[in-house]
Structure formats: structure tokens, C-alpha cells
Amino acid sequence: MSDALNAIRDIEKAIVDYGSDITLNKIVAGTYNPQTGTTSGTTTSYSMKAIVKRNATASLERSITNNVTVNTYELSILLYHTEEPKKDWKVIYEGNTYTILYVSPVVLQNSNLIYELLIKK
């Protein structure tokens, strides 16, 4: 196993051992039904652990300094997931639903399995 994969596994273990419970809701838009005027869609929920912080990592803070929309974030979440979260997904934490403002993949030897999300209610 490569050093990068070992590092990813170490981070994943730390998140599982010390993280907080969250639910990541993957929302997939469906098709529009002109007869009913509604759009169907599906939501897949992933219960997982994540590191929840009030501040983003220093490197991410520097990269979003001039982004007014992203600067309104309330929490930073570090999580392990096999699929990159999208901005239209939702995060449930301590009974509150949060919108994803920004997704920052942590890249280790071309592997994106760790993500930092900036979220707000």
C-alpha cells in the first residue's frame, strides 16, 4: 500500500474514532412532470463520522478570503467519503440541516477520499 493510501486510512480511522455523528444527504434531481407540476427526486442518506470545527483549515481560509458567499460559512467539516459531495447535498448535524457552500478535496497521490466542507444553515 502506498504512503498516500496509508495516510488516507489513518485520517479515516481518526475521523471514525474521534468524529461527531453527521448525516450526508445525497440529493439527485429527478424529472419534471408537467401534468402535476412537480419534480421527482431521490435522497440517499449516509450516516457517518466527521470532524466538525468552527474554522476552516488555514490553507482553505487563505483560498476563500475574497469569496463573500463562502466566507459566510458557519462550520467546517472534514469527512471521508468515496464520492465527492456536491453543493446541492445537505448535511445534518445536531438536528440542524446545513447547506454545502464549498467542497475542498484533500488530494493524496491522485486519491480524493477526504473532503473539507464549508457549511451553513
Q: Can you give the pTM of this predicted structure?
A: 0.80
Q: In which domain, by residue range, is 83 found?
A: 3-120
* Tens digit of each residue's pLDDT (9 = 90 or more) over 7-50: 778 888 899 899 999 999 998 887 888 888 877 788 999 999 99
Collect all residues with Cβ–Cβ distance below 8 Å to 48 and sequence separation of at least 6.
19, 21, 22, 23, 24, 79, 80, 81
**Domain count along the chain:** 1
CATH number at residue 24: 2.40.10.270
8 A C-beta contact, residue 81 and residue 45: no
62/69 Cα distance (integer angstroms): 15
Q: Where are the alpha helices (DSSP H) in the chain?
A: 3-18, 58-63
pLDDT confidence tier of residue 110, bands split at 50, 70 and 90: low
